[in-house]
Each structure stands twice: as structure tokens, then as C-alpha cells.
Amino acid sequence: MIQALNLAYEVSLRPAAAAAWPLRPAVLALGVLLVGLFVGHTARLQAYKRGWRGRAVTPGAYLRGNLLMLAALTLAACLVFGAAPAAGADRPLVRMLGLALTLATLLNWPHGRPMRAAGA
């Protein structure tokens, strides 16, 4: 997907496209990442809620929830990466991409706490 976005950029980018974007690219990128974080977190909690058994989350629900979170943040990072060249501000947007991937790693670290019974 990333290579396809790069190809689309190389083939069709026009210099006027950067001037036509009225918002600051870094602010827009941060907004995309925050929306991705919110959507991923909500989806993960809903997956956990469906798999709640007793006082713990089932392993399948834990896996689904973490995959949904990772997918939402990865999609946000891909959108930021795809918009970086078109916006004409590569460096701040690539930094936001790094932030998204760091968040995905930190928030989805496989610690397994939700699968353990509360108080155990």
C-alpha cells in the first residue's frame, strides 16, 4: 500500500496541489492521528466488552481488540504518509507517522492484563 501511494505521488503530483491545501499539514496530520487513536481505542474496548467472561477478557477478544487498535493507528499513519508529499511538508508529517507507530507499539504491547481475572 505504501509503495502504491509513493507511485501515485510520483506520477500525479502537481506543484499547485501544495498551495491549494489551506490547513497546516502538521495540524491536519495530528488530527488524523488523534481520530485514529480514538477510533482504535473505542473499537478495542468494544471487542473486549463482547469477549468479557467472568472477570476477564477471552484470548480471542483480546486479540481482536488489539488488532483493531493496531489497524486504526496503522491506517492513520498510512494516511499521514500518503498526504506528506502532496502537502509539501514531508518532515513534520513523517514525524507524525513515527508518533503513530510509536503509539501503536506502546498501546498494543502484549502484556495480557485484560485476560487475567481482576484481583487475581
- Per-residue model confidence (pLDDT) at position 43: 94
Torsions phi, psi for 34 (to 5 deg): -70, -40
- How does pLDDT run along the chain (120 residues), one tens digit per residue? 555 555 555 555 555 555 555 556 667 777 777 888 899 889 999 999 999 998 899 999 999 999 998 888 888 878 777 776 666 656 666 777 777 777 777 877 778 888 887 665
- Per-residue model confidence (pLDDT) at position 3: 56
Domain extents for the chain?
32-113
C-alpha 21/C-alpha 12 separation (Å) is: 16
Q: Closest Cα partner for 32 from 96, 91, 98, 102?
A: 96
